[in-house]
Structure 1
Amino acid sequence: MKRRTLVGGVAAAAAAAAPGAAAPRRIGMSDVDRLQGRFAEIIASDHRHGGQLNIERRAATLADEALNLQNAGSATQRVRSNLYASAAAFRSSAMWAAIDGRRYEDAKAHMREAQALAEMSGDQAIKFRIWSHTGTMYRHLGRPADAFAANNVARNLHITRRDPLFASLGLARQAAIHGAAHDRTGTHRAFEQAQDAMLRADPGEYRPVWMLAFYGQAELDSLALSACLALGDYPTAEFHAHRCLSTLRPHMVRSRAITTTRLAHAQLSQGAADAATATAMKVPADAATQHARVARMLQEFGAALRATAPGSPTVQTWTEHTAIWRASA
């Protein structure tokens, strides 16, 4: 029996060494780099379109592709950790697209998968992204207690102590949650701390592509705008909207549409129906009809406009303009 086992082992070794035998594939950092390039494409699509189902599905497919590489060959522990981090990053983008598209049950499913993958990767930055997005999801769902709890997980990661920019983002989103909870004092304090942390951040420090692509003064003002609208502080909301729009980078098309819509709300709430309508009409047709959050905010704007100025020429102008949007969709 031992002889047969030995012979079988020698034969198997010989077959493996024979010319033309397929060697096990070696998975390396070049595979990770390729995935990172695809991740950058997902980020770019999100900033241009936001919330689209095709972005969510593409990100989820790429997450599976990253996971499949784990079983496609041999790899070092460093490579395997990076593959898990890549899978978590893609899954977090699928989660964000679902949040942005108001598909919250799908977002929760992506969240659970992303959190598990992030734990296996050990990557602090992607853990921060996932928990911070979770806080945002619960804020949109009107669950501030859960939003605070999730955002605090992100804020308590050691990356926020190492990098003030991560600390700033965590504080800015905390302030937005305070706004949704109608806590004026907490909102102002958190935004002051977020601004201070941003000013302390080293612009030359390495950060992941998703952070570099969106977080800066414009996003801080966008979150302040959201909080001030929730608090009913419309003049301050308008101030932050204008400052956000003046510093938004060209690729942030989705963010510009959201900010423009919020600015219209702030203006209308101050009684400036004509100015508000002119602002709302600047939102591109594709965002107005295809981005779930923008479309809903514009519907709410139209209802508020009709309640504020029923039967006025401004309402008629808005009605005609939205008909053009629908026709072009």
Structure 2
Amino acid sequence: MQAYLEFEKTVSDLQGKARELRDMQSADASLNVADEINKLEAKAGQTLDELYKKLDAWQKTQVARHPDRPHFKDFREALIDDFQPLAGDRGFADDHAIQCGLGRFEGQSVAVIGHEKGHDTQSRLHHNFGMARPEGYRKAIRLMEMADRFGLPVITLIDTAGAYPGIGAEERGQAEAIARSTEACLNLTTPMISMVIGEGGSGGAIAIASANRVLMLEHAIYSVISPEGAASILWRDSTRAREAATSMKITAQDLLALGIIDEIVPEPSGGAHRHRKETFAAARTKLKANLIELSKKSPDALKRERREKFLAIGRNL
């Protein structure tokens, strides 16, 4: 059963009525309601198209968090062949929120890193809802250093509300791990492409997203703090999250205009959770084009341009 978001209620009602008529027709073959069903489904599709053409920042936040939205595992299975996972930070433990490994993209060997949120209660708990602990970032550093040593491009897929803020994580050096992971990104001499596929939250995202190219799915979000967190700090009222989301400029369209990201990966009307194959195809096209372009650059140029890219953010606003 399709999970509908709050702003999709009109679509839900129309499709619900169509299902009721379809069930009635199945129960009584003498009923001829095919025309009514087609009209309702056409109206639902038109309404959905109209809604997704004018989503505001808070609605995009809801889409980015949709429980059926494809996560790292889905993108990895669709885009990466011969994937071999690597585990552990060689220091404390294996973090399950950040997944790492080697594979092939379009026939080329690559290193792949990404946040995995999980798809049901059990897997979400296993992956800590995509919120990494320090050992997750240290595992990412280990893979980036390996990729640099063997000249492998790095692809990262971002989908986290932020790094895990628990006491244990702080005791094991969460801030230091995030800083060193960001440093590892900036020191790479191989191409690095990051794609925000859902939520890009704070240092938990930038730690593996300081790349030569930063791409975003059309209805993803990327921010220094969640809208709820910002509302709680600014107004001590988390119910003002919609207002905060609008003010923070967290959508792909806003961030492209500000020069924070480089490209938007289009999503079909209704979002990636309704059209996975089309979204994966669009992501493949964007990744391939950027990888071809970056592969033509020298190691020194890749490192220099990446650093200059992030140092320039905010200077011309």
Q: TM-score, normalized by length of structure 2?
A: 0.30
Question: Normalising by structure 1, what TM-score?
Answer: 0.30
Larger % of strand: which?
2
Bigger Rg, structure 1 or 2: 1
Write 1 or 2 for the structure with the bigger share of helix.
1
